[in-house]
């Protein structure tokens, strides 16, 4: 029996490092003199403005509204889109689609046959979800497959994605976002609609992921 590839590769690494047995070295200290925070509380007005500025820069559509106007704002956005049939995750807050004149299929719900097949997701007019965290400085929204975000396929196959972001979910920078996320959950970091710059470095929005990204930012 020859050595396993695993043992062999590990042996090679130790040889290359000149380590012949003995304990592993301690982690070396990493100088973390960079900014770990923008210094503003989640949801601070300055962060919300920054997030909107970044999202618009990525060609996402942004609507800002008060907490009691989420249903009406979502309904207006869907009407403007002409969306008739929507997919939603099982834990979408009740009020979000209450005012919308749409048919809803719920992923994972028994009455809709459990997990929605890809073909169904491909045929709906769009999907509405919440999010886990938003990063103002980079215009990023993170989906974490919690009940109001849903499975990853749900927010990938439909061509239109509307995300409701609550002000208290908006942090300043990437270092502020990571501690709020659970690495055991599948995560999707979304910064604008899908895009490519592969042809002469010209950015084209909308390739394989949802081509339209709409964000409803709930303030106050």
Partner 1 sequence: MTTFLGMPGLPVATERGTLRGPDTFPVAARRALADTQLRKNLGHATSTIRAKRARVVGELDDWEELRAAGAAIKADVMARLPELLVQLEENVTARGGHVHWARDADEANRIVLDLVRAAGTPDDPVTSVVKVKSMATQEIGLNEALAEAGIAAVETDLAELIVQLSDDTPSHILVPAIHRNRAEIRQIFLDHMPDVDPGLTDEPRVLAMAARAYLRRTFLAARVAVSGANFAIAETGTLAVVESEGNGRMCLTLPQTLVTVMGIEKLLPTWRDLEVFLQLLPRSSTGERMNPYTSMWTGAPRTSDGAPDGPQEFHLVLLDNGRTATLADEAGRQALHCIRCSACLNVCPVYERTGGHAYGSVYPGPIGAVLTPQLAGMHGHGADAPAGGDPVDSLPYASSLCGACFDACPVRIDIPSMLVHLRAKHVETAQAQRRVPGLPASAENAAMSAAAWVMQDAGRFSFAERGLQLGRLLARDGRIRSLPPPLSAWTTSRDVPAPPAETFRKWWARTRGDRS
Site for partner 1 in 100-129 (CB under 8 A): 108, 115, 118-119, 122
Contact letters for partner 1, residues 31-50 (x by CB under 8 A): xxxxxx--------------
> Applying CB under 8 A, which of residues 61, 104, 194, 212 lies at the interface with partner 1?
194
Residue 23, burial from CB neighbour count under 10 angstroms (0-12, 13-18, 19+): exposed
Cα–Cα distance measured from residue 29 to residue 85, given in angstroms and rounded to the nearest whole number: 53
The CB density around residue 195, as the number of other CB atoms within 10 Å, is 16
Phi/psi of residue 92, each to 5°?
-65, 130
Q: Does 212 bind partner 1 (CB under 8 A)?
A: no
The answer to whether 217 touches 167, Cβ cutoff 8 Å, is yes
> Applying CB under 8 A, which of residues 86, 87, 133, 157 lies at the interface with partner 1?
157
- Rounded to a whole number of angstroms, the minimum distance from the CB of residue 220 to partner 1 is 26
Q: Does 180 bind partner 1 (CB under 8 A)?
A: no
> Applying CB under 8 A, which of residues 61, 120, 191, 212 lies at the interface with partner 1?
191
Cα–Cα distance measured from residue 133 to residue 37, given in angstroms and rounded to the nearest whole number: 15
Cα–Cα distance measured from residue 106 to residue 186, given in angstroms and rounded to the nearest whole number: 20
DSSP, collapsed to helix, strand or coil, labels residue 110 as helix
Kindly indicate which of the ranges 17-25, 39-47, 78-86, 94-102 contains the residues binding partner 1, using the contact rule CB under 8 A: 17-25
Cα–Cα distance measured from residue 51 to residue 64, given in angstroms and rounded to the nearest whole number: 11
Subset of 65-84 contacting partner 1 (CB under 8 A): none
Q: Does 140 bind partner 1 (CB under 8 A)?
A: yes
Q: Does 27 bind partner 1 (CB under 8 A)?
A: yes
The smaller minimum CB distance to partner 1, of residues 54 and 166, is found at 54
């Amino acid at each position: 029996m020859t050595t396993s590839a695993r043992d062999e590769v590990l042996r090679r690494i130790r040889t290359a490092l000149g380590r012949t047995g003995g304990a592993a070295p301690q982690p070396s200290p990493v100088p973390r003199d960079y900014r770990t925070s923008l210094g503003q509380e989640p949801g601070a007005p300055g962060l919300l403005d920054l997030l909107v500025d970044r999202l618009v820069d990525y060609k996402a559509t942004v609507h800002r509204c008060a907490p009691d106007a989420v249903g009406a704002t979502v309904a207006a956005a869907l009407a403007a889109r002409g969306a008739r049939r929507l997919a939603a995750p099982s834990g979408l807050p009740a009020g979000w689609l209450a005012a919308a004149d749409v048919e809803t299929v719920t992923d994972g719900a028994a009455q809709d046959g459990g997990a929605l097949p890809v073909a169904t997701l491909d045929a709906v007019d769009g999907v509405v979800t919440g999010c886990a965290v938003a990063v103002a400085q980079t215009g990023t929204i993170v989906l974490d497959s919690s009940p109001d975000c849903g499975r990853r396929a749900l927010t990938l196959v439909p061509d239109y994605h509307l995300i409701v972001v609550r002000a208290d979910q908006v942090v300043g920078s990437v270092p502020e976002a990571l501690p709020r996320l659970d690495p055991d959950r599948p995560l999707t970091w979304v910064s604008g609609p899908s895009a490519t710059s592969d042809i002469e470095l010209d950015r084209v929005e909308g390739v394989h992921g949802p081509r339209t990204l709409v964000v409803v930012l709930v303030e106050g």
